[in-house]
Amino acid sequence: MAKKSVIDLLNEARSRELTAILQYMAQHYELEDQGMGKLGAKMKEIGIQEMKHAEALAERILFLEGVPGSKPDAVAKKGESIPQMLDTDIALEAAAVAMYNDAANACAEAKDQISRRLFEKLLADEEEHLNLFETIQDHVKKLGAAYLATLAE
């Protein structure tokens, strides 16, 4: 039973990662189209990191003889302003941080240290993303258009 619960946690995380990929790549395209190339490039970079997370989760699921899910847990939001994008991204990352903390603990209880370490590695990356988005949001709030101009191509 413990193995199935770990596979379920890994698949839940994979669904979150698939949502993050879709969200950050949609934002990348929109920001590039708006001439916000520096921020768009950062969103693309984070989207690619999320792709690597989804792949690592799938590999672990397969190792545990599970079937990796392929459905995101939400639909990407489009057409948001930069402050709205940051709110969306912060919410995504904060939820991932909370879930991955809990999942790492659950894997440890299930005596699956490899899955625990995977969640801890993902957790560290998601905390970096969260910190970046919060920093950008803080700059946007404090500096407004002057800061946004620095994010253009």
* Tens place of pLDDT per residue across the chain (153 aa): 589 999 999 999 999 999 999 999 999 999 999 999 999 999 999 999 999 999 999 999 999 999 999 999 999 999 999 999 999 999 999 999 999 999 999 999 999 999 999 999 999 999 999 999 999 999 999 999 899 899 887
Calpha distance 65→58 (Å, rounded): 10
Topology (CATH) of 2-66+81-150? Ferritin (1.20.1260)
Asked if residue 54 lies in contact with residue 10, where contact means CB atoms within 8 angstroms, the answer is no
Tokens 């990796």 correspond to: 68
Where are the alpha helices (H) located in the chain, listed in sequence order? 2-33, 37-63, 82-109, 113-143, 145-150
CB proximity list for 96: less than 8 A, separation 6 or greater: 13, 16, 20, 122, 123, 126
